Amino acid sequence: MATTKAPDAGRRSDRSRRAIHDAALALVTEQGYRRTTIEGIAARAGVGKQTIYRWWPSKAAVLMDAFLDLAGRTAEDAGGAPQPDGAASSGGSAPGFPDTGDLAADLKTVLRATVDELNNPVLEAVTRALTAEGIVDAKLGAEFVQQLLDPQLALYVTRLRAAQEAGHVRAEVDPRIALELLIGPLMHRWLLRTLPLTHAYADEVVDCAIGGLTPRA
């Protein structure tokens, strides 16, 4: 009958929640994800272990929450007004998606911002950790994608669809695939560290993707 287990979220201590978030982010940044332990987070946050286990199922979940919280706060600071959750970008960079009419320029603007985010040393450790965890743990990966990635990617899709309607993108191109053509190379380079991730690279990717590989008539 009764769930006998669910804690009462109303009584939850906000102070502890924040302290745990901060501790988690700090430790992951300082020591890396592997070396960060739940005991360590609890100790650093001045919190009982049980308080973590009560509200989160895993270290990764704590970190993801902390990351979302951080993103939200950063966005809030940047945007002046708090944004609804869904609109929060992963690093808080883009309050929207530019539409100057010049698709290539707009994409370059956004991809350059993404490059900057991925090169941000503070966020890097956490993002890498969560991505890696999601790669191995499907359930966590789904949450990661849904909560952090999809909202961001949806903006691309919107912009691309607009470009398509304006005739700047071929009708038979699936916007979802177009998006991956742009994001995929960046992520590939960032995740595997094959080569450095620069603004120039972002520009080249946009140009290539837009212009295609083969020569034009």
d(CA 151, CA 59): 23
36 vs 8: CA distance, rounded Å: 28
47 scored as a contact of DNA (CB under 7 A): yes
Dist CA 18 CA 41 (whole Å): 12
Q: Report the C-alpha gap between 129 and 152 in whole angstroms.
A: 19
Site string for DNA, 14-43 (x = CB under 7 A): -xxx-x---------------x-xxxx---
154 touches, from a copy of itself, DNA, none (C-beta below 5 to 8 Å by class): none
For residue 201, the partner it binds in a copy of itself, DNA, none, with Cβ less than 5 to 8 A by kind, is: a copy of itself
- 22 or 137: CB nearest a copy of itself: 137
Task: Name the residue nearer to a copy of itself (CB basis): 81 or 213.
Answer: 213
Q: Pick from DNA, a copy of itself, none: which does 22 bind, CB < 5 to 8 A by kind?
A: none
Q: What is the largest CA-CA distance in the chain?
A: 71
Q: Exposed e or buried b for every residue in 131-162, given b needs 16+ CB within 10 A?
A: bebbeeeeebbebbeebbbebbbebbbebbeb
Residues binding a copy of itself (CB under 8 A): 32-34, 103, 128-129, 131-138, 141-142, 144-145, 149-150, 167-170, 173-174, 176-178, 180-181, 183-189, 191-195, 201, 204-205, 208-217
